[in-house]
Chains A and B, each alone.
Chain A
C-alpha cells in the first residue's frame, strides 16, 4: 500500500512531470487561459494516462519489441478518442472551449513517457495509480498557471470577475502577456524555480 501511496504522491512535487521531467509543456501553454479548462483538461489527461497505463501494463508481456511504441500509441490514441467523446457527451460547452486540445493529448509526452518508463515494467494496479499520479502532478502545474493567467490576463477566476476590467467599467487593465503562450512559459519557469528552491535535490548537476 505504501508503494501505491508513493507512486501516487511522488509526481505531485518530488517528481513532477512538467516541473522536473519537463514533459507536457505544449498543452500546459495552450489550455491554461482559464482555470475551468485546466481542470477539465487535467481530468481528461488523468483518464487517458490511467487507462493507457493499465492496458499497456496488461499487454506488457506479450507486446513484441518491434511494435512496442506503435502498440502503446494505439492504446493511448483510443483512450484519447474515448475521453473526447465523453466530454462532448457530458459537457458539450466545455468541449467547445477545449476543442482540439483534448485530441492533442495523444501528443502529450507525459502519457507515452509513463507507459514507456513505468507501465511496460509494472503490474496493472500500480500502473493505473502511476497514471493518475502523474496526471495530477501535471494538473497541479496547469491549475497554478491557469490561476495566474486567468486572473492577470482577464481579471477573472472560474469565469467570475475578481479584478473588474476597464472594458467592464472597472480599474484593472488586463495584462495581455498572460493570455499568450509566452506568459504561460514564464509562469512555468517561475514554478520550476520556486520548486527547486524549496527542494534543492531536484537541481540537476551543473
Chain B
C-alpha cells in the first residue's frame, strides 16, 4: 500500500510539474505580447472616443501626435506636476484599479455617493485632451463602474464646450453577450454623440433611460436609449456616467476648465499644466 501511495504522489507531482512548466513558459513568452495588445486596445478606445480612429490607422502614432495626457487631481481639478509622480502614479504604469486601491493615491467613497458601486476611487486620473494648436478640441474622460456581472470600463469624450458628448466607448466589460454586452456595440455608442451632458445650471443631466427616448420631449437632448433586455446594465451605465461627470469625479476639473475659458485666459485655454 505504501508503495502505491508513493507512486500516486510521484505521478501527481510529475503531472503538476510538467503542466506548470508548460504554462509558465507560455506565460513568460506571451505575457508581454498580451500586455501590449491590451494597452493598444485601450489606446484604440481612447482614439475611438475622440473620433480619431479609422481602420488601418497607426494607433501609436495618432495617439502621440494628437492626444495630450494630463494627470489630474480629481478633488481640485488641477493638473498634478510631474515631480509628484511615483512608481504607481505615472503615465505608463497608471491602472485605475491599482490606484484606487492604493492607500495614498486612492480613497474610499462615501457609500451614499457611490452610485457607480466602485467602493474606492482614485484621487488622480489621466485625462486625455485632443490637441488643437494651443487649445483642445475634445476632452476624453476615463470612466468606470459596476455593471451586472462585471466592471465596465470606458471613455467618455466631450467637445470643447465641455457639455456636448462627442463619443463613448467601453473597452472592457463582461455583461451578457447580445444584451448588456451591447454597450460595446458602436451603433448604440453613436447615439451618445451630440447629447448634452449638462443642464443650464451646470447640473449633470446626461441619462440613459429605460426604453426609447421620445424625440419630442425637451429632455431628449440629455437622454440616451436604454438597452432592451438589459435594464441593470443600462442603469449601471447611467450611474457611472453621472458619478464621473459629478462632483465625486471630474466635476471639479470641468468646472475649473469652464471658469478658465470664460475668464479668457488664452494660455490656460488648454487648462493643462499650471506653469
Q: Which residues of A contact B (CB under 8 A)?
A: 30, 33, 59, 62-64, 66-67, 71, 74-75, 77-78, 81-82, 85-86, 88-89, 92-93, 96-97, 99-100, 153, 167-168, 176, 179-180
User: What string of 1s and 0s marks CB contacts (under 8 Å) between B177-194 and chain A?
Assistant: 111000000010000000
Beyond A33-B178, A89-B33, A92-B41, whether A64 also contacts B8 by CB under 8 A is yes
Whether B22 is near chain A, meaning CB under 8 Å from some CB there, is yes
Inter-chain CA distance A180–B34, complex, in Å, is: 31
Q: Is B38 an interface residue (CB 8 A)?
A: yes
Query: Could you tell me if B4 and A64 are in contact, using CB atoms closer than 8 angstroms?
Result: yes
Within 8 Å CB of A88, what residues of B?
30, 34, 37
Contact B177 A33 (CB under 8 A): yes
Q: Which of A78, A100, A176 contacts B23 (CB 8 A)?
A: A78
Instruction: Provide the residues of chain A in CB contact with B22, threshold 8 Å.
Output: 78, 82
Residues of B whose CB lies within 8 Å of any CB of A are 4, 7-8, 11-12, 15-16, 19, 22-23, 26-27, 30, 33-34, 37-38, 40-41, 172, 174, 177-179, 187, 228-229
Question: How far is the CB of A76 from the nearest CB of chain B, in Å?
Answer: 10
Q: How far is the CA of A93 from the CA of B40 in the complex (A)?
A: 11
Q: Is the CB of A85 within 8 A of B11?
A: no
Contact across chains for B38 and A176 when beta carbons are under 8 A apart: no
Chain A residues within 8 Å of B23, by CB: 78, 81-82
Chain A residue at smallest Cβ distance from B188? A167
- Chain A hits for B40, CB < 8 A: 92
In the complex the two chains form, is B15's CB within 8 Å of A75's CB? Answer: yes
Do residues B12 and A67 form an inter-chain contact, with CB atoms below 8 A?
yes
Q: How far is the CB of A40 from chain B (nearest CB, A)?
A: 14
Given contacts A82-B23, A96-B41, are A59 and B229 in contact (CB under 8 A)?
A: no
What are 9 contact pairs spanning A and B, CB under 8 A? A67-B11, A71-B15, A74-B19, A78-B23, A85-B27, A86-B30, A92-B38, A176-B229, A179-B178
Q: Report the separation of the CA atoms of residues A96 and B184 in the bound assembly, to the nearest whole angstrom.
A: 10
